[in-house]
Structure 1
């Protein structure tokens, strides 16, 4: 019996353009691929292991032609709209009080600052959850097992009573290995608002 639903944020609630972001970044940086150092710094930043200033300083040193504002715009390019029907869906879930609701997101300070500025109902959205975990605040990130174990331990949850939704296959595989029920949502063809029709067997 499912008692807790754990949601990813990007491509579950807020739409992301990951392919467009990559193409835009490579073109803006005038490179063919991200270096290992860039990938490492991005990961450090997502885990809150370096500050926003340190993150931007790294990119400024490597791409001195680009202003700080331009670098921030490139970084935030992936962030798109947040369809209001998804907020309504979450609100109804909260009102029904059938499940503990948890958000578990790999994100960073710059993205959250953008979201707070452009998604006017962000605080309302946040308040619908019983717990709200952002990777840069807890210094853990998916798909590592420790972030899932942290959430399970923190709330004394049984893995087989949790349902985890994410668009990233690696994250889904880790959750599945730990015994959680999962939905590897396809943002191109599926929508979180259809959870109970698409995954009906888990919630009967």
Structure 2
């Protein structure tokens, strides 16, 4: 087995805590039906890949649900974003300082969520986090999203990496399964039961 040289981290529910059901729950409170159309999911996916702007997302939503105030929609949209525990920030900073691995962030996110991340964790802490990585890939900036194989191929090619020398950590099984098909080693982390800071204890067999 090849030695791990690069660790690729997801962001949400790996470093920053998420409340995944929150968006749907908060939209329902605003009177938006549970069965949000496939059209809205498509628009959200386009926004995640940076193919439409925040203004276009909001315009689309306002046209579909004119009785919901824009600020209420944004608040509901960002309700998924929770806190960023300091011990995880210190963990990745220590890992960066030790310089034993190339560190890459690979996150499906969007501009509104990143704004909320910065608000929740503060800009100085966000900069500390971002500066811990050799490369910092956000889906809306590279116009690709997980679990498409093309996003992993992009990261491998952009950094001249060998898949078998990479470890990818993500909380969604479909994302780690897609990466593993390319030969990338993976850890499908279970939020609430496992913590990324346990990497070298409970997952020492990967190294």
TM-score category, normalised to shorter length = over 0.9
Q: CA deviation at 1:122?
A: 0.4
Structure 2, unaligned stretches of length 5 or more?
Answer: none
Contact 1:12 1:167 in 2 (8 A): yes
Provide the TM-score with structure 1 as the length reference: 0.97
Name the counterpart of 1:129. Answer: 133
1:29 and 1:63 in contact (8 A); partners too: no
What's the counterpart of residue 193 of structure 1?
197
The answer to whether the 8 Å contact 1:126/1:132 transfers is yes
Cα drift, residue 20 of structure 1: 3.0
- RMSD (Å) for aligned C-alpha atoms: 0.9
Q: Which residue in the other structure is 1:50 paired with?
A: 52
CA distance in 2, matches of 1:93, 1:147: 24
CA distance in 1, matches of 2:170, 2:24: 20
Q: Is the 8 A contact 1:26 1:34 kept in 2?
A: no
Q: Distance in 2 between matches of 1:191 and 1:66?
A: 37
Matched with 1:3 is: 5
Q: In the alignment, is residue 175 of structure 1 matched against residue 179 of structure 2?
A: yes
- How big is each residue's C-alpha offset from its partner over 1:120-171, in whole Å with a ceiling of 9 and x where there is no partner? 1001100000000000001000000111000000000000000000001111
In structure 1, the gaps of 5 or more residues are none
Q: How many residues align?
A: 203
When structure 1 is superposed on structure 2, of 23-32 and 163-172 the one drifting more is: 23-32
**CA separation in 2, counterparts of 1:98 and 1:7?**
15
For 1:92, the equivalent position in structure 2 comes to: 94
Deviations 1:84-123 (A, max 9, x none): 0000100110111000000000000001111122211001
